[in-house]
Structure 1
Amino acid sequence: MGKRLRKRTRVWHSIANSSMKKKLIIVFVFLITLPLTLTSYISFQYYSKSLQSNAQAYVSRTASELMDKLENYISDVKRISALPLFMTDMQQKLAQPLSIEKMRSLEPVVLSLNNIKKDSTSVYIIDNYDELYYNLKTDGLRQDIRQKIPYWRSLAKEAEGLPVLLPVQAVEYSSGNKDYVFTVVREIRDAVSIVPIGMIVFDTSVSVIAKTVEEMDAITKGHSMIWDQQNQIVFDSERAFMMGRAEDLPYFSRIEGDQGSFPLELDNAEYICTYTTSAKTGWKMVALIPVKEVTAKATLTRNVTILVTLAISGFALAVSIVISHFLTGPLSKMSRLMKQVQGGNMDVRLKVKYADEVGLLGKHFNQMLERINELIGEVADSRLRKKEAEMRMLQSQINPHFIYNTLETIRMMAELNDDDRVSAMTYNLGQMLRYSLTKGVESGTVASELEHLEHYLYLQNMRFNDKFALTLKVPEPLLGRPMLKLVLQPVVENSIYHGLEKREGPGEITISAYDLGDDTYFILTDNGIGMSRETVERLNGHYETLVYDTNSRGGIGLQNVNERIKLHYGPAYGLQVESRLGQGTAVIMKLRNMVAE
């Protein structure tokens, strides 16, 4: 016993003290070749015996899963049909007689409902006046839509607010194309009075069923079909029994219960018939699996397993030698380079050829040497950078108070010389700078923001001979509220430069403000030259993002204002532009109600 232990110990020490190349070869032999050979042999033995029974169970389980997907899809459509029950604004519009405003209000609702499920075909909303509002993903409106409305309405009324799933039906569209669809109908009731005000109808093409059936056929290499509770065949992958009756199938009488399977012979070919039933819809999926396909896979798998096992076993032995050489070569070279670095040579580099772990180690080795050289350089010029920093500190000593005091001195000298215009301009400019250059203060009040705007407009009127008139319609309770600084003046500046300056005659700017729930709105309008529709759409598209406008005039453009508002209040806030050529421009500024802050 002792001799055996000592012998095993010597063998272990011999392996441990051998080169890495030998160790890798041993690892490849034992961890790849031997397990692969044993696994292939054992797997084939069990696979050849149980393939047919396992395939039958697998298909049955897969059919159940696919029916669950179909159930979930129909359930989703039913849940989507309940959304109008919670849209009080839409309900109010739906209860009203036909109008342009009603059509505009319901169009985005129908569009959004149709886009929730990508496989939906059409969504119709019908009010009590039999007016139709719809969104289509087909190439036309179904031709029988008007004839179906009374039938749908009676079904929705009988269901008393619950969704109704209709059987599959053939429809023809106005384009002449035909399709098969199944329909979900639901009554829309007023959320307060529970009085019916219309109904919603979803049409879904059987193409969504076709996807499910195709998934099944890809697995079984056979064909499948689905029929509904009335035994009407909803879909047949071979298109031979579409819209037919399941009772006409030769094996219909053998399908009993909700699920099961049985052997079947059709046209001198053997099949395994597997079926399952949806618990929610009552629809039944039937899959016919060719036995020949199952046994063919078993034969092919046996032959391929033997060939692959032999090939991999020989290949692994050969490749292990090559791989061990490639793995140990760079490590040996890196070891030599490390000795040179230890001797003080910092200019050596490892040539990295591959992106494996050894290559990553070499890359970090090179980065480490480069960083060491950078640190040496940083230490060498640290004194120069320190002197430059001290010089910049001296240059930054001029602070805003110096600017205020200088402007005040200029104003007093202008008053002594009876130059009231220069005095007033200097005073207004000083007030603007004092408001703008206050460090560390992001917010002011609505009153201070308007006062800053009046100083700015005074200076512009001095330049343009009182061309601009400002009208404020801001309620008294809003004046004392906190507000983000420097957001009104850039908007007015944009109105002057791009609208009023180019207009002949006097320019008018009106600022209105009002509360709406938790939000405060400022509307800045002018009677300038306006903008084209394309320009307005482009601006509003930019304002939905946080992209800084580096080309803004004066450095603080509308896009910068929009960015500051979104960063301060949230992405739901910001600017919106409305304008027409020759009719002026309105900028709507949405802020969070500052009382709630």
Structure 2
Amino acid sequence: MNSGFKRAGTRIWLLFADASMKKKLIVVFLFLITLPLTLTSFISYQNYSRSMQENTETYVLGTTSELLDKLDNYIMDIKRISALPLFMEEMQAKLTQPGRSFDKLRTVELSILSINNIKQDTTSVYIIDNYDELYYNLKTDGVRNDIRDNIPYFRQLAKEADGLPVLLPVQEVEYSSGSKDYVFSVVREIRDAASITPIGIIVFDTSVNVMAKTVNELDAITKGKSMILDQQNHIVYDSDRSYITQNNERWPFLNRLQGKQGSFEVDWEGEPYICTYMTSDKTEWKMVSLIPMKEVTAKAKLNRNVTILATLAITGFALLVSIVISHFLTKPLSKMSKIMKQVQAGNLNVRLHVRYADEVGLLGKHFNQMVGRIEELIGEVTDSRLLKKEAEMRALQSQINPHFIYNTLETIRMMAELNDDEQVAAMTYNLGQMLRYSLTRGNETGTVQSELEHLEHYLYLQNMRFNDKFALKMDVPPELLRTPMLKLVLQPIVENSIYHGYEKYGGSGEIGVSAYQLGTDIFFILSDDGVGMSKELVDKLNDRFDKIIYEQGTGRGIGLQNVNERIKLHYGKEYGLRVESHFGKGTKVIMKIRSSS
């Protein structure tokens, strides 16, 4: 499974990586804008919903407390009213009398009437004396049919309470008129004021309709349903009046009503609700409120929908802005890509028009510089090839006549040996070796040893010509002798020294050749003790060597310049010749080449 996710992630990344820069910028802009906005909206919705839920629970619990206090006060008023017979001496005197006389009936019922008028909502008040005589005042259509059957039960409850009022659970009663109602009752003993002995009981029946106003007020606030439970968790009253007197078996969540108050989420009749409850300290009745979750989160959902619309609007605007911005950002890159294709096709005359000094503009500037540099390098390579061809042509031209002469000299040498003229034969031999070395085609390079041998042949002929005026002193390490090097570079330098340092002035001297290796570079130092050169001429020669300036015509430095050009063409621009000289103190030519050519 992890590998599947990994492959999917890789494919998505490749799709993104292969996309154009414009598409990447649009995706990045949308991601950076919509992700924080979406997360912020989600967190805001969650916090707002939670806050609304908490505030609703707090408010409903506060309202429930107020309504429960009203109900408690109503019941406490009935309990207090139930103590009034203790202060009605005339009624107490009549209740102690046996029988049911007219005078007794009138006195007791007038007392009941006065008691019943204290609370307008009281349904009925019943008084039963110790002789089971029943007296009452009703605000219903008739007497409850089970009143006499319940007298023993009422007496037992009143007796166990020892003079205190007893609150009974809700009961369904039927009246003599045939109508039915649900009532809760308060029962209390009536005691003689003098002897404190029981002389009867008083029963208050109150319709649960007195709770309708309280429950309706709560329902109007919560937009849900409410119910009141007694001490045994029997339903005293509910919003629909459908479950009065039923126990909590129908709704298991009522078993969670622990403690004085609280709230929790519950699923009731297929809908999510918040259940809040509060328990009365006086009656131990519980007022329960079921608040529909949809009502609690209605404003939060409205806020969420507005946020979603705002998010979509901002996302659309961000998409438009990102398209515009990415277009302007990638337009120079697109132009550069097209120009690069033209350069790739060989058109080096194109340039990118740079308008701004940002990173793209800087890139365009460097691109233009790069194309210009490529043009320069191509020009330099072309010039180098032309120079090389020209140098080869000059070398070829210089080899045509010596080649003819070489064959002729071989004939002369053979004739000199036949005539026993060893000196002529030696001169002819050395000249022939020189010509053979220089005329070898197809290979530009020889070895250090072959180059030194060629130099020795040349000096032998010069000494034969000038009566041994020149001495050759060589100091080359043996390990360098087999090193490959460009041919015909030492002899022109020595020839230049003989011609300009000695021959013009008829002098003689010593020519030195030394070499050493430094890293991958080899340095040859060719020195003479001739007349030397002025500083101006030295500077001019070195400047020519650095810039590869070739001047047509004759004059000092032409041979050296040709050697310098060949070295640079073969080894690179950092190699070549360098002249050191002082007038009257000789000349030193330093040649730098690479050891592995």
TM-score (norm 1): 0.41
TM-score (norm 2): 0.41
Structure label with greater radius of gyration? 2
